[in-house]
């Protein structure tokens, strides 16, 4: 009878999980990372976000909040898969959030940077503008002077955010090429006689490019 009681106790102990190791319960939430997201100033109306979690078989929820931080917004979460794409129709700040839930039902805590993803960028769909503010004076028709002639130009660019680069070109030289001309002014010394066209454009931080501003002129030949 005593041996039977000991055997029964051992069987009962294992049946109730009191001995050995039972199944492991997953209580750890997943963690999401973004993969090469758009950043800074973005010049396209399409925003695409790719992401992944550190666990398999996760589901995701995303939201995009215009002109505000999503954590202060009433924009609702929507089920999403990677990549998720959005179309933006106006300039301004965009805040993207994504969070994961694993197969055990653990939801990623949303308190960036400690959990979940909160990512901000600026959409800029507006082209900058440029004007030529200083150029050689015409003395007759399009003639500005006689060879060798120095042509000086100044120009101003405007943008709703900021101008990143100026680009200039003088057509009429042997090999006209576009060159960066930051600083708002450029000089072309000792020009031989001929017909010329000066052009300048600007690029903003999102890569948008202005139309060219141009100035045509003629350098006359000195006749002996």
Residues 44 and 115 in one domain: yes
Q: Are 32 and 98 in contact (CB under 8 A)?
A: yes
Residue 106 lies inside a defined structural domain of this protein: yes
Residue 7 lies inside a defined structural domain of this protein: no
More confident residue, 70 or 157: 157
CATH of the domain at 174: 2.60.40.10
Residues 141 and 98 in one domain: no
**Model confidence over 194-211: pLDDT tens digits?**
999 999 999 999 999 999
User: What is the C-alpha separation between 167 and 145, in angstroms, rounded?
Assistant: 25
Average pLDDT over residues 74-99: 95
Give the pTM. Answer: 0.77
User: What is the C-alpha separation between 109 and 28, in angstroms, rounded?
Assistant: 10
CATH of the domain at 32: 2.60.40.650
**Model confidence over 17-43: pLDDT tens digits?**
444 555 668 889 999 999 999 989 999
Residues 71 and 98 in one domain: yes
> Angle CA(53)–CA(59)–CA(60) in degrees, nearest 5?
75
Name the domain boundary from 123, 148, 165.
123
**Model confidence over 103-119: pLDDT tens digits?**
999 999 877 665 678 89
Residues 78 and 32 in one domain: yes
Write out the two tokens for 152. 């000086």
Average pLDDT over residues 58-71: 92
């Amino acid at each position: 009878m005593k041996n039977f009681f000991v055997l029964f106790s051992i069987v009962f102990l294992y049946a109730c999980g009191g001995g050995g190791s039972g199944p492991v319960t997953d209580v750890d939430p997943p963690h999401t990372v973004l993969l090469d997201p758009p950043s800074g100033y973005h010049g396209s109306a399409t925003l695409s976000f790719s992401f992944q979690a550190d666990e398999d078989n996760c589901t995701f929820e995303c939201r995009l909040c215009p002109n505000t931080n999503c954590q202060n917004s009433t924009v609702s979460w929507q089920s999403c898969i990677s990549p998720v794409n959005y179309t933006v129709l106006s300039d301004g700040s965009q805040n993207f959030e994504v969070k994961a839930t694993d197969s055990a039902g653990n939801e990623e805590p949303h308190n960036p940077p400690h959990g979940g993803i909160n990512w901000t960028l600026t959409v800029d769909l507006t082209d900058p503008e440029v004007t030529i503010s200083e150029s050689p004076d015409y003395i007759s028709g399009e003639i500005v002077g006689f060879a060798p002639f120095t042509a000086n130009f100044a120009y101003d660019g405007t943008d709703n955010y900021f101008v990143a680069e100026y680009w200039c070109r003088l057509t009429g030289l042997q090999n006209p090429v576009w060159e960066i001309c930051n600083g708002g002014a450029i000089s072309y010394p000792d020009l031989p006689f001929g017909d010329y066209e000066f052009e300048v454009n600007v690029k903003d931080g999102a890569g948008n490019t202005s139309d060219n501003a141009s100035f045509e002129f003629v350098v006359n030949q000195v006749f002996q």
